[in-house]
Amino acid sequence: MEIHTLRAEVGIDAEAEGHYRDITGIGNTSGPHDHDFFEFFIIVEGAAYHCINGKRELLSEGSLVFMRPQDIHYYEQLPGIDCRLINLSFYEKTLMDLLAYLGAGFPKESFLGSAFPITIQLSHQEKLLLQRRMEKLYRIPQHEKQWYRTELRALLAEVYCHYLMHSVVLEPHEKPEWFLNLCKEMKKPEHFIEGVPAMISISGKSHAHLCRTFKEWEHQTPLQYLNRIKLQYAENLLLHSDRGILDIALEAGFGNLGHFYKSFKALFGRTPQAHRKMHYARLTPLV
């Protein structure tokens, strides 16, 4: 199988730093290829097979795929079905500058070094929102290169932070996927306030199963895990708002103020008031 390399110097405008393509059929895509630039694409209508790095996966409406330069891929049409996709390609330097700005908190190496690109399935509403956001580039006049570049960079920051950042699994060979998803969901206030019943509902696992899994991977019980999440949420409210201690405790899910004080001091080493006072003392020279 001959592999063709697509090059940025041919397909991407140097001043705009990116190239937008609305492809209405699989017959209009390239054969097996890699490239010296990054890209992502979204299936906006229909479905197709995506042959990527020796694997074939079915993509349907709403599939969002983040490609890297080293990825070798092409598309195959399903019998009697075609698809429309929107592709956005951009310079490697443009994305690497963004990742450098985002810093060490972004799972850069896991994204760049994984065997296959990240594929995310968007809901119908998410697909429409992203499609409209990408089509904004399509409406920029060709001579407005700087405007295009600014909109491109803003779009990349939105898409990579919102969709990709929390979808990269740092240890895919270790923690079960359902457990990673559960931990992500339990950071939402509506879930950690509900507590263990929310864990059971979201995971579909028994309480005993949850206890074993949290002991194995987090070295604590589900209740201890939830308590830490609630305290970390309370700390953020304490340090970044002017709400009273009682209001913060209630919003974080602590119905007993004494229990909140005791738990907070056990984790942070000081009372909520002392923690807030210390934080404000550090910020005083900046105000």
Question: Which residue range is the domain that position 222 belongs to?
Answer: 177-286
Single-letter amino acid code for the residue at 94: T
140 to each of 145, 236, 249, 285, how far by Cα in Å? 9, 40, 49, 44
How far apart CA 163 and CA 24 sit, in angstroms, is 24
Residue written as token pair 């709400």: 243
Distances (CA, A) of 73 to 1, 32, 69, 95, 162: 12, 5, 11, 20, 25
Residue 35, pLDDT above cutoff 90: yes
Q: Residue 197 CB: number of other CB atoms within 10 A?
A: 10
- Same-domain pairing of 18 and 148: yes
Calculate the alpha carbon distances from 20 to 12, 104, 269 in Å. 9, 29, 53
Specify if 172 maps to a domain. no
Q: Are 95 and 224 members of one domain? A: no
Q: Give yes or no: residues 100 and 223 share one domain.
A: no
Together in a domain, 20 and 134? yes
Cβ neighbours of residue 180 closer than 8 Å, sequence gap 6 or more: 169
pLDDT band of residue 281 (cuts 50, 70, 90) is low
**What is the helix (H) or strand (E) element at residue 42, kind and residue range?**
strand 38-52
- Average per-residue pLDDT in the chain? 91
pLDDT in tens, 146-181: 999 999 999 999 999 999 887 775 544 578 889 989
Which CATH number is 65's domain given?
Answer: 2.60.120.280
Residue 133 sits in the same domain as residue 211: no
Q: Is residue 171 part of a domain?
A: no
Structurally, the chain folds into a number of domains equal to 2
DSSP state at residue 206: -
- The string of pLDDT tens digits covering residues 190-206 is 999 999 999 999 999 99
More confident: 110 or 87: 87
Whether residue 54 sits in one domain with residue 21: yes
Residue at which a domain ends, from 164, 199, 224:
164
**pTM of the complete model:** 0.68
Are 124 and 64 in contact by the 8 Å Cβ rule? The answer is: no
What type of residue is 231? L
**Same-domain status, 137 and 241:** no
